[in-house]
Amino acid sequence: MEQKRWCMLIFLVSFLFIGLESVGSRGWIYAQEGKFPVKPIELVVPYAPGGIVDLGSRVVTEALSRELKVPVIVKNQPGGGGLVAPTAYLTVKADGYSLLAGSSGAIITTNLLSKTPAFDPRTTFLPVGFIADSPIALSVPNASPFKSIADLVQFAKKNPGKLKGGVSSIGSENHIMFMSVLNDTKIDIKMIPYTATGTLVTAILGEHVDWMTLTLPATLPYAKSGGVRILALTKKSPELPGVPAGPAVGLPGFSSTIWMGILVLPQTPKAIYEKLVATVQKVTQDPETKKKLASLGFNVNYKGPQEFSNFLNDQWENSSRIIKETGIKVN
């Protein structure tokens, strides 16, 4: 008898929970109970497996899983130069179980270049935490006579149209930074676009192009092995103390970085949001995670929601100014 009553009670309670679950689609039940998370969380990555943001995200999800005690899974949703994922993300349930891995390309650049942007990165998403960034490098082949940006600019001014510059993937942050150099110095060079990092690097090592702009993680290996020489970075890096940042050598626009951060929808319940903010902050302080991200070329550089939001505004303005001034148009 006793047993039967218990069974009945458990049945009723679970029934109640199922009912509440559907009512609480805005997630307030978890918020009230303070029980988040109770099921796996997905991190939507706007690129195919294998890119630097993808690999970085996998390091982060591993740490998040450990911290949140539920599996945090990377969901790759590539397409449209990174635009497909954030656009699709607009329709997910804002319950904290789906996070967006934001990055410069997907959230800002591609969106700025889009004819009909579906979102505004400054207002559509709620920043959770900025995790890490990485500068873009301007480099020349090691055999090149140019030892500094000044050398390069001087030669280009004397010989308009002579130099060939390589850039990987049009519409990417690398491309915007390439154009910013031309915009700041008013030099006339040929821009040769490559479709993948591998082919661009082959071209610069084979001295088929005179200089290139490429992310530091992708450039650094060749700088270390003596294949290329880095003349400037968009931001000073602890790994290369001797290399100046763009603004210091007359390239004020050469200052955007490749970054990685986590965003959610603004409708996310407050308690869940706060838990996510705290967890992301904690994860970025973990030395093991820091080390792994650093080996990929990322500088862990945590920014809280407010700072992240300001950062988004700054990047948006810098990129849109360069795009406007150089007349980059892809659509």
Partner 1 sequence: MDTLNSFYHGLLIAMQPVNLFYCLIGVTAGTLVGVLPGIGPTAAVSLLLPTTYHLNPLSAIIMLCGIAYGSQYGGSTTSILVNVPGEASSVVTCLDGYQMARKGRAGPALGIAAWGSFIAGTISTLAVMLLAPILAKTALKFDSPDYFSLMLMALLMVTYLVKGSMLKALLMVGLGFVLGTVGMDPISGRERFTYDFNVLKDGIGIIPIVMGMFGVTEILETMGSSIKVEVFEKNIKGFWPNRQDWKDSGAPIARGTLLGFVMGIFPGISPMIPTFLSYGLEKKLSKHPERFGTGMIAGVAGPEACNNAASAGALVPLLSLGIPSNAFNAVLLGAFMIYGLQPGPMLIQSSPDLFWGLLASMYIGNVMLLVLNLPLIPLWVKVLQIPYSLLSVLILVFCFLGAYSINNNIFDVIITFAFGIFGYLIKKFGFEAPPLILAFVLCPLIEVAFRQSMIASDGSFLIFIQQPISACLIVVTFGILILGIINKRSFVKEIDVEE
Please, what is the minimum distance in Å from the beta carbon of residue 84 to partner 1? 5
For residues 105-164, which are near partner 1 according to CB under 8 A?
113, 115-116, 161, 164
Among the listed ranges 58-66, 123-131, 274-282, 309-317, the one in contact with partner 1 (CB under 8 A) is 58-66
Residue 287 touches partner 1, criterion: CB under 8 A: no
330: tokens are 């892809």
Closest CA to 103 of 258, 216, 234: 258
Tally of CB atoms within 10 A around 62 = 16
Cβ distance to partner 1 smaller for residue 35 or 208: 208
Region binding partner 1 by CB under 8 A among candidate stretches 25-33, 129-137, 214-222, 246-254: 214-222
- Contact string (CB under 8 A) for partner 1, positions 63-82, x = contact: ------------xxxxxxx-
Q: Give the shortest CB-291-to-partner 1 separation in angstroms.
A: 9
Q: Of the ranges 57-65, 145-153, 177-185, 303-311, which one interacts with partner 1 (CB under 8 A)?
A: 57-65
Distances in Å between the Cα of 317 and the Cα atoms of 112, 304, 323, 331 are 10, 20, 10, 20
Q: Tell me whether residue 88 or residue 245 sits nearer to partner 1 (CB atom).
A: 88
* Binding status of residue 52 toward partner 1 by CB under 8 A: yes
The total of other beta-carbon atoms located within 10 Å of residue 217's CB is 20
Q: Choose which of 84, 92, 240, 245 interacts with partner 1 (CB under 8 A).
A: 84
* DSSP line for 35-61: ---SS-EEEEESS-TTSHHHHHHHHHH
- CA nearest neighbour of 32 among 20, 40, 22, 41: 20
> CB neighbours (10 Å) of residue 94?
18
Contact pick of 37, 102, 217, 269 for partner 1 (by CB under 8 A): 217
**Of the two residues 9 and 73, which places its CB atom closer to partner 1 in the complex?**
73
Look up residue 131 and give its two tokens. Answer: 């995790």
Place of tokens 């500088």: 299
Kindly write out the interface string for residues 186-205 of this chain, putting x where it contacts partner 1 by CB under 8 A and - elsewhere: ----xxxxxxxxxx-xxx-x
Using alpha carbons, select from 212, 244, 225, 237 the residue that is nearest to residue 138. Answer: 212
Whole-Å CA distances, 239 to 4, 82, 223, 257: 68, 29, 11, 16
Q: Is 20 in the site for partner 1 (CB under 8 A)?
A: no
Interface contacts to partner 1, rule CB under 8 A: 48-52, 54-55, 58-59, 61-62, 75-81, 83-84, 87, 113, 115-116, 161, 164, 170-171, 175, 190-199, 201-203, 205-206, 208, 217, 221-222, 224-227, 292, 295-297, 329-331
